[in-house]
A and B are shown apart, each in its own frame.
Chain A
Amino acid sequence: MDRVEDILKIGGKNIKNRLFIGTGKFSAYELMKRVLEESDVDVTTVALRRVDNEAASENILDYIPKKCILVPNTSGARNADEAVRIARLSRAAGCGNWVKIEVIQDNKYLLPDNSETLKATEILAKEGFVVLPYMSPDLSMARRLVDAGAAAVMPLGSPIGSNRGFRTKELVEILVSEIKIPVIVDAGLGTPSSACECMETGCAAVLVNTAIAIAQDPVAMAKSFSDAVGAGRLAYNAGMPQSTKDAKASSPLTGFLRNE
Chain B
Amino acid sequence: MSFYEIYSRYKDTDNAFGLVSSRDVERALAARNPDISHFMALLSPEAERHLEEMALKSREMTLRYFGKTIQLYTPLYLSNYCENRCVYCGFSAANRIERRRLTPAEVENEARAIASTGLQHILVLTGESRTMSPISYIKECVKVLAEYFSSISIEIYALSESEYAGLVLEGVDGLTIYQEAYDEEVYKNIHPAGPKSDYAFRLAAPARGAGSGMRNVNIGVLLGLDEWRREAFWLGLHAKYLQDMFPGVEIGASLPRMRPHEGAFTVPHKVDDKVMVQIITALRIFLPRIGISMSTREDAKFRENLIGIGLTRISAGSSTYVGGHSACLHDSKNLPQFEISDKRSVAEIMAMLEQKGYQPVLKDWLHI
| Residue ranges of A at the interface with B (Cβ–Cβ < 8 Å) | 24-29, 48-52, 55-57, 76, 78, 82, 85-86, 89, 104-108, 110, 160-163, 209-210, 213-214
* A214 contacts B63, C-beta separation under 8 Å: yes
The reply on B64 being an interface residue by CB < 8 A is yes
Could you tell me the distance in whole angstroms from the C-beta of B283 to the nearest C-beta in chain A? 15
* B359 contacts A108, C-beta separation under 8 Å: no
Knowing A25-B67, A27-B68 touch, does A57 contact B362 (C-beta < 8 A)?
Answer: yes
Q: B92 — which chain A residues lie within 8 A by C-beta?
A: none
The reply on B1 being an interface residue by CB < 8 A is no
Q: In the bound complex, how far is the Cα of B115 from the Cα of A85, in angstroms?
A: 25
* A162 contacts B64, C-beta separation under 8 Å: yes
Dominant SS among interface residues on chain B: loop
Could you tell me the distance in whole angstroms from the C-beta of A207 to the nearest C-beta in chain B? 15
Q: B113 — which chain A residues lie within 8 A by C-beta?
A: none
Dominant SS among interface residues on chain A: loop
Q: B68 — which chain A residues lie within 8 A by C-beta?
A: 25-27, 213-214
Could you tell me the distance in whole angstroms from the C-beta of A159 to the nearest C-beta in chain B? 10
* B248 contacts A27, C-beta separation under 8 Å: no
Q: B244 — which chain A residues lie within 8 A by C-beta?
A: 108
The reply on B364 being an interface residue by CB < 8 A is yes
Q: In the bound complex, how far is the Cα of B64 from the Cα of A210, in angstroms?
A: 6
Q: In the bound complex, how far is the Cα of B118 from the Cα of A55, in angstroms?
A: 7
* A25 contacts B363, C-beta separation under 8 Å: no
Q: A25 — which chain B residues lie within 8 A by C-beta?
A: 66-69
Q: Mark B353-368, 1 if CB is under 8 A from A, else 0.
A: 0100111011111101
The reply on B176 being an interface residue by CB < 8 A is no
Knowing A52-B120, A57-B118 touch, does A29 contact B359 (C-beta < 8 A)?
Answer: yes
Q: Mark B34-77, 1 if CB is under 8 A from A, else 0.
A: 00000000000000000000000000000111111100000000
Q: In the bound complex, how far is the Cα of B115 from the Cα of A224, in angstroms?
A: 41
Q: Mark B110-126, 1 if CB is under 8 A from A, else 0.
A: 00000111101000000
Could you tell me the distance in whole angstroms from the C-beta of B349 to the nearest C-beta in chain A? 13
Q: A24 — which chain B residues lie within 8 A by C-beta?
A: 67, 69
Could you tell me the distance in whole angstroms from the C-beta of B222 to the nearest C-beta in chain A? 25
Knowing A25-B66, A26-B67, A161-B64 touch, does A78 contact B118 (C-beta < 8 A)?
Answer: no
The reply on B193 being an interface residue by CB < 8 A is no
Closest Cβ neighbor of A52 among chain B residues: B363
Q: In the bound complex, how far is the Cα of B308 from the Cα of A27, in angstroms?
A: 12
Q: In the bound complex, how far is the Cα of B289 from the Cα of A51, in angstroms?
A: 23
Closest Cβ neighbor of A25 among chain B residues: B67
